[in-house]
Amino acid sequence: MQSSGRSLFPKARVDALSDGIFAFAMTLLVLDIRLPDDLPLTSAAELTAHLVSLSHQMLTYVISFFVLGAFWRSGIEIRPTSERVDRHTVRLALLFLFFVTTVPFSSGLVGRYGGLAPAVVVYAGNMTMLAVLTIAIRYLDVEPRHRSLRGAAGGVLPLFIATAILSVLISAVAPRQAMYAYLLTGLARLPFWPRGGYGAVD
């Protein structure tokens, strides 16, 4: 990445903060999957039924965990080779990490209230912001003469944004099924799917 000639910051510090926030956010996700402490259980069948009732929360957890994992992986694949980053990248990185920290909230919200469209919309908005900010950071992570929005977006991020929008549309008629839209991102693993110009979230 080209520096602005002004304020520069150690890339290692930015990466350390990023790794810590990702680790913390990914750990918090699982805390929302739990049975009430005062749940009366008298048989194995009742316990099994209650565990099955957590399936929607488990689906949300799995999606959110691997989405965060994909964004973290993308970050370590596309970081610039220089040891310092400029203030614009730091600002974008902090904004991106802010939305990473909100994933446990939006994930818990849609896990508990996935039958209500507003919960799906909040989650989709969170996911979309992560994708858009990733595109912006990727755009700045290459030399100006090589920058392109198409290259920054790659083949996966537009698909991810599209699935978020699709989930919102589905929530208008069948909120409980809206989260399944994110499974379509698996299409990006097919050999014919375009990978983009420089790196991809996969």
Condensed to tens digits (0 to 9), the pLDDT of residues 115-124 reads: 899 999 999 9
Amino acid at 143: E
Contacts of 89 by beta carbon, 8 Å cutoff, 6+ apart: 1, 14, 137, 140, 141
Burial state string for 172-183 with b = 16 or more CB within 10 A and e = fewer than 16? eeebeebbebbe
User: 126 or 78: which carries more pLDDT confidence?
Assistant: 126
CB distance 66 to 108 below 8 Å: no
| % of the chain beyond a pLDDT of 70 | 85
The residue ranges of every structural domain in the chain are 8-189
Q: Is the pLDDT of residue 108 over 80?
A: yes
Mean pLDDT of 195-201: 49
- Tell me the whole-structure pTM to 2 decimals: 0.81
Condensed to tens digits (0 to 9), the pLDDT of residues 13-57 reads: 888 888 999 999 999 998 888 777 777 777 888 788 878 888 888
